[in-house]
Amino acid sequence: MLHLLVFSVFGLICVAGAINLLVQRHPINSALSLVVVMGSLAVEYLLLGAEFVAAVQVIVYAGAIMVLFVFVIMLLNAGVEERSKGSRVAMLFGVPGVLIGTVLVAWVLLARSGTGNVAVGALPGPPKVIGWLLFHDFLLPFEVTSVLVLIAIMGAVVLASHPGSKQPDKREG
């Protein structure tokens, strides 16, 4: 009962943070709303029993990736954004589309309970279980993903270095 209450409260906080992310006009407020979303998602994982995933969610997403977001916003000194009138296509198709999608997903989940529902505390939680899954059952997907990340890193390095142009003079570190 207490679990369900806390779960619902953080679910609401999560959705409120996501809506606030869209409504805010200043990029830094939006980024901080995203931190709130990440944090409440971590609490939801924790309540479902996935304590390792919850901790990693906080360390990696809230603690590292979002810090880089905030860092970039600070570095570029991005100001308040102009509010446009919004596109007509979004109003005509987007809003009904989202509504229909939500109803469909909810209907499927409710009609076929047991496929989409996760009981409280049912997810694999302890780090040992996660490690076993990653390095035995899902070894190939895990390694393929790591190669994918490596490619992304190399792409970032290529984009960041300007071939042809001279590097600014570097002092010895």
Partner 1 sequence: MTLSVFILVSVIKIVVALGILLTAVAYTVWLERKVVGHIQNRWGPTRVGPFGLLQPLADGVKFIFKEDLLPPHVYKPLYIAAPMIALIFALTSISVIPIGNWVTVLGIHTPLEITDVNIGLLIVLGITSLGVYGVALAGWSSNSKYSLLGGLRAGAQMVSYEISLGLSLVGVLIMAGSFNLREIVDAQSGTFWGFIPRWNIFQGQIVAFFIYLMAAYAETNRIPFDLPEAETELVAGYHTEYSAMKFAMFFMAEYANMITVACLATLLFLGGWNGPHRFGPPLLQAVLPVFWFAVKIFAFLFLYIWVRGTLPRFRYDQLMAFGWKFLLPLAIANLVITALIVALRA
Residues that bind partner 1 in the complex, under the rule CB under 8 A: 28, 32, 35, 51-52, 55-56, 58-59, 62-64, 67-68, 70-71, 73-75, 77, 126-127, 171, 173
Q: How far is the CB of 16 from partner 1 (least distance, A)?
A: 17
Q: How far is the CB of 52 from partner 1 (least distance, A)?
A: 6
| Residue spans of beta strands (DSSP E) within 117-163 | none
Name every residue whose Cβ is closer than 8 Å to that of residue 36 and which is 6 or more positions away in sequence: 13, 14, 17, 20
CB atoms inside a 10 Å sphere around CB 46: 22
Distance CA 156, CA 15 (A): 32
Name every residue whose Cβ is closer than 8 Å to that of residue 70 and which is 6 or more positions away in sequence: 28, 31, 32
Q: How far is the CB of 104 from partner 1 (least distance, A)?
A: 35
Q: Which is nearer to partner 1, 78 or 148 (CB)?
A: 78
Q: Which is nearer to partner 1, 113 or 167 (CB)?
A: 167
Q: Which is nearer to partner 1, 93 or 135 (CB)?
A: 135
Tokens (6 digits) for 112: 């076929």
Q: How far is the CB of 79 from partner 1 (least distance, A)?
A: 11
DSSP 60: I
Q: Which is nearer to partner 1, 77 or 84 (CB)?
A: 77
